[in-house]
Amino acid sequence: MTRIGFVGLGTIGRPMAARLAVPFDLRVHDVVPVELDGAVTVDSVADVADADVLCVMVRDDDQVRSVAAEVRASGHAPVLVVHSTVSPETPAALADLGLRVLDAPVSGGPMGAADGSLAIMVGGDEADVAVARPALEAMGSLVVHAGPLGAGTRMKLARNLIHFVAFTAVTEAQRLAEASGLDLRALGEVVRHTDAITGGPGAIMHRATTAALDPDDFWWGVFDHVRALGEKDLSFAIELAATLDVDVPLAELSRADLAKGLGL
């Protein structure tokens, strides 16, 4: 049976570790001792370092580096799987310590962690990915080997750029809706409902490149239609905002950059 260690039993780490408790020999550690059904709780990182795979879901780069230093001091050589979202430089720095490292940040939040539907973006050596894959697939329904060490982190940062820029766009839309006398909760229901159908911002992410499109390319017609609709609706929204004295800089930037961004 594969031995799994898990360090960091917070809001996302605990339900992730719980997905590993039945199929694996699991030991867990957190600075605040937490009991987990099906797992053995231990007192230190050294007590989980002799695992085949050691998953780390702690708060920040400093804590990740601290865990890595304790693993190195233990003399053991697990595949160290860093689920925390860290600086792009951190995975390589950990590998420079002589550790076998995968950077494998996750997307899907506590809900995805609880039901095993996380997306896990993995960077690192193929052989190490193969060792960790059974554990990864127990925690996530989509496991993507993004490339060499560091690629998982870069993919997560690109994914979260969409996430938080979209959040900022939502706040802009809420100001416009509020000034228009609309029910913001009802608008939120509409957004969540339609994004579940269309795929939200990810609906346009089908090409393998951001290069300019050839007019004979299939996607030219698709994206030109998106551009036409987008520029029209953004123009209407910007005009409405002007009449209501609402500042919508993201809408203005989007209207200016939409065509170029789509490759047109």
Q: Are residues 215 and 111 in the same domain?
A: no
What's 252's domain CATH number?
Answer: 1.10.1040.10
Q: Are residues 211 and 130 in the same domain?
A: no
CA distances, 198 to each of 44, 80, 182, 202, 203 (Å): 46, 37, 23, 9, 6
Specify if 56 maps to a domain. yes
List beta partners, residue 55. Answer: 6, 81
Specify if 229 maps to a domain. yes
Q: Are residues 40 and 135 in the same domain?
A: yes
Specify if 72 maps to a domain. yes
Q: Is 232 annotated in the active site?
A: no
Q: pLDDT for 247-260, tens place per residue?
A: 999 999 999 999 99
Q: pLDDT for 163-219, tens place per residue?
A: 999 999 999 999 999 999 999 999 999 999 999 999 999 999 999 999 999 999 999
- Looking at the structure of the chain, the number of domains it has is 2
CA dihedral for 11, 16, 21, 24, sign (positive or negative): negative
Question: What distance in Å separates the CA atoms of residue 71 and residue 29, rounded to the nearest whole number?
Answer: 13
Q: Are residues 129 and 251 in the same domain?
A: no
Q: Are residues 223 and 121 in the same domain?
A: no
Q: Are residues 148 and 233 in the same domain?
A: no
Q: Domain end: 154, 185, 217, which one?
A: 154
Q: Are residues 23 and 96 in the same domain?
A: yes
Specify if 67 maps to a domain. yes
- What's the token pair of residue 221? 């017609």
Q: Are residues 144 and 28 in the same domain?
A: yes
pTM over 0.85, yes/no? yes
Q: Domain end: 123, 138, 154, which one?
A: 154
According to the model, what pLDDT value does residue 226 have?
Answer: 97
- Whose CA is closest to 109, among 163, 181, 38? 163
Segments of the chain with pLDDT less than 70: 1
What's 70's domain CATH number?
Answer: 3.40.50.720
CA distances, 262 to each of 65, 78, 104, 224, 232 (Å): 39, 43, 29, 8, 15
Q: Which of 14, 145, 156, 255 is catalytic?
A: 156
Q: Domain end: 115, 132, 154, which one?
A: 154
According to the model, what pLDDT value does residue 1 have?
Answer: 64
Helices (H) and strands (E) in the chain, counts: 9, 9
Helix (H, G, I), strand (E, B) or coil at 103: strand
Specify if 168 maps to a domain. no
Residue 57, class by beta-carbon neighbours within 10 Å (0-12 exposed, 13-18 middle, 19+ buried)? buried
Specify if 193 maps to a domain. no
Q: Are residues 18 and 137 in the same domain?
A: yes
- Residue 28 structural domain: 3-154
Question: What distance in Å separates the CA atoms of residue 199 and residue 205, rounded to the nearest whole number?
Answer: 10
